A and B are shown apart, each in its own frame.
Chain A
């Protein structure tokens, strides 16, 4: 029954040790999910549900209290060039130019490459994110959006097996964010990267993802539900809301964030909830009347048809 997935997360939990006199605090526990190759998965949840910690565990920057992460048949233990990370705060090195920031990553990935080879490779990714002409600028000379593009170029340039993004556009203004989302979508379609992304932005998740994991509030957060984003691709930011599915999915997501995430956290869990197989729903495909009939959860870990 277990389909071989590219990335599997099993029984992951993070417990912070007791502070004097208190009880140990489990931020999240018994987290199970899987990501297929080439899939774009978003995770949404309120602050404090531990989604950044999950991402850091996937990146190998943090360790879980229990549970395993298996990528491509191997357990994740520590950071690796196989997983590129796009940080929220772009994390560029301010003393290096755009080109050198990316070259630093490329040199780490392929230490035996010559200068010219690195240069052409770097240039390819600079062009890809539309920063041609800004190669020799320092990060301080770039706008927030341009800095994040460099971060994206740096992560893509090492051609990792998987990309992890921690609210990559959180610090950008709405207009810039839209433009970069479009570009990310374009690049993702072209490269077929597997992506795991944290976001707070429901529209961003709907535009980009194949699957949206909804986390209940912490502590003791868990994956309450996996929403399959059935909006047809290619998607376009300007027309996406005209699709009949759009508001069904959006309402479902917003409803979850506003009310259900709290209910679940306060213990009003559905009786049939199984942490190993969180319910998978496709609100986009249900017409309004038959939404209830979608309730018996579809078997998880299967592709939407």
Chain B
């Protein structure tokens, strides 16, 4: 009988996952015979035994699974600057993203209201937005480091600047697109400007604003990894770079997957928030 789409999709997903794991497993199978000729003893020692295990030097699915188990069973340990639990690293990254994002929202939403409501401000600010928007957020990093003189705050600033534009543009767009008839209702009811902004324009534009926030959050999570690779010290981006320097590809793969999972969780949260403010006409 026909099964629900959800169930069928889940089955296909599991099959795809299985195939991927199988390919990975096959590609990293150890080849004992060719071993001696391929890898010098010195290199094998450098790779911490990884090279000796698989032909390509890549960790096997089992290695990564072990790492997952290892790292996730004690996520919050702290053995000094270069050895912290994954939970702590992610918390640093998330905190930077949250602070930068929050400040961006505090600037972008009111500014977006202004741009969306006033055609003059829209024309006046548009050139600035168009020039600043396409700048890679990391390009601000040297300037931020020089002026702020604190690497951690500089990373927050980079998050701020990259979260700003999608929220600003979407807020302006949402506010400008509020239906004329709702504004006319507010006008005939002599609603004061503040109440009009909060009770008519804000809820009307909320779905568009939330979409902007969702895009901003996605970009912020992309950028934080790169930013932390640059500034170092703490965070998931630093962790990835540090593990690369340790030549622990297992940990790198583990970190990549964690970045993906956290990014997905953030997107789900914003998806859920979008549903809260959505309305159907």
A interface residues with partner B (beta carbon < 8 Å) = 59-61, 79-81, 83-85, 87, 89, 91, 93-96, 104-105, 108-109, 138-140, 158
List chain A residues, Cβ under 8 A from B185.
85, 87, 91, 93, 105
Establish whether residues B279 and A140, one from each chain, have CB atoms under 8 Å apart when the complex forms: yes
Contact of A60 among B188, B199, B206 (CB under 8 A): B188
Q: Give which listed residue, B181, B189, B199, contacts A158 with CB less than 8 A.
A: B189
Given that A93-B200, A95-B204 are contacting pairs, would A84 and B188 also be in contact in the complex, using a CB cutoff of 8 Å?
yes
- Interface centre among A84, A93, A140, by most chain B C-beta atoms within 10 angstroms, is A93
Q: Check if B181 sits within 8 Å of A79, measured CB to CB.
A: no
A94 interface neighbour in B184, B188, B195, B281, Cβ under 8 Å: B281
Q: What residues of A have a CB within 8 angstroms of the CB of B181 in the complex?
A: 87, 89, 91
B76: Cβ under 8 A from any A Cβ: no
**Can you list 9 contacts pairing A with B, beta carbon distance less than 8 Å?**
A81-B189, A85-B185, A91-B181, A91-B182, A93-B203, A94-B281, A104-B189, A108-B195, A138-B280
- In the complex, whether B190 has a CB less than 8 A from a CB of chain A is yes
Report the minimal beta-carbon distance from B261 to chain A, rounded to whole angstroms. 33
A166 to B179, CA, bound (A): 17
CB-defined contacts of A61 to chain B, threshold 8 Å: 184, 187-188
Tell me whether A79 and B188 are in contact (CB under 8 A): yes
Summarize B's interface: helix, strand, loop or mixed: helix
- Residues on B close to A: CB < 8 A? 179, 181-182, 184-185, 187-191, 195, 199-200, 203-204, 206, 277, 279-281
- Cβ B189 vs Cβ A109 within 8 A: yes
Across-interface contacts of A93 in B (CB, < 8 A): 182, 185, 200, 203-204
* Given A87-B181, A104-B199, A95 and B279 contact (CB-CB distance below 8 Å): yes
For the complex formed, measure the closest distance between the CB of A142 and the CB atoms of chain B, giving whole angstroms: 11
Chain A residue with Cβ nearest B185: A91
Within the assembled complex, what's the spacing in Å between the Cα atoms of A95 and B279? 5
Q: Is the CB of B184 within 8 A of A108?
A: no
Do the beta carbons of B190 and A140 come within 8 Å of each other? no
Q: Known A87-B181, A87-B184; judge A94-B280 contact (CB<8 A).
A: yes
Nearest CB to that of A105 among chain B residues? B189
- Cβ 8 A contact of A59, one of B188, B191, B200, B281: B188
4 more A-B contacts (CB under 8 A) besides A95-B279, A108-B189?
A81-B188, A85-B188, A94-B281, A140-B280
Q: Using Cβ atoms and an 8 Å threshold, which residues of chain B touch A104? A: 189, 199
Q: Across the interface, name the chain B residue whose C-beta is closest to A139.
A: B281
| Inter-subunit contact A81/B190 (CB<8 Å) | yes
Q: CB-CB < 8 A to B200: which residues of A?
A: 93
Q: Which of B189, B199, B204, B206 has the most CB of A within 10 A?
A: B189
A85 touches B184 (CB 8 A): yes
